[in-house]
Structure 1
Amino acid sequence: MQNKTCFLLSYIKYGDSDAVLHCFSKDSGYETFFVKGIYSAKNKKKAYLFPLHQITVTLNAKKNASAMPLVTKIEGGMLSYDHEDVKTNTILFFCI
């Protein structure tokens, strides 16, 4: 198990309840993760899927080097700013 703190850049819904996350972390740069069941009716974690939101993901150990890392746990991170405007969020994201 490996924990990573990163910023969510975008996401793509995959199937009925899964998603592919495009994130940027300070240590590794641009990364892509796969999340199972994020869009299921009982899952309350889909609120974390907001662009430029800091999230902490727990990854499963890679069995296959070419496979996309699977997220086993997702948590919201601490926000250092509280602006709802997308333009302001973008400016603050690249300036901080």
Structure 2
Amino acid sequence: MPREQNRIQIPMEILLDSASGKREARISDLSIGGCFVDSIASFPEGERMQFELRLPDSTVEKMTGEVSYVIEGNGFGMKFVGLSEKQTALISWIITENGGTP
């Protein structure tokens, strides 16, 4: 099944805040609808969590995501939930600035 959005490969640091606590992680790809989180920690599909996305200018954007699938020992796909217009525009800008199409 084809993806709904185009993804770009981009490493970005995030701080996950889940039911099991806070932990540093990194995303390896990004789309307007979600990202892939590199993590050896396991989270159940459907779990919602807050996370902080660290931007290139060192600012932090707080968002909410939901685990959409898990690749054990590798990471998980996370779809964004309830993004504001500002957050959607920010993600679009990051994608465009890195050579992608939102």
Which interval holds the TM-score relative to the shorter structure? 0.3 to 0.5
TM-score, L = length of structure 1: 0.32
TM-score, L = length of structure 2: 0.31
Larger radius of gyration: 1
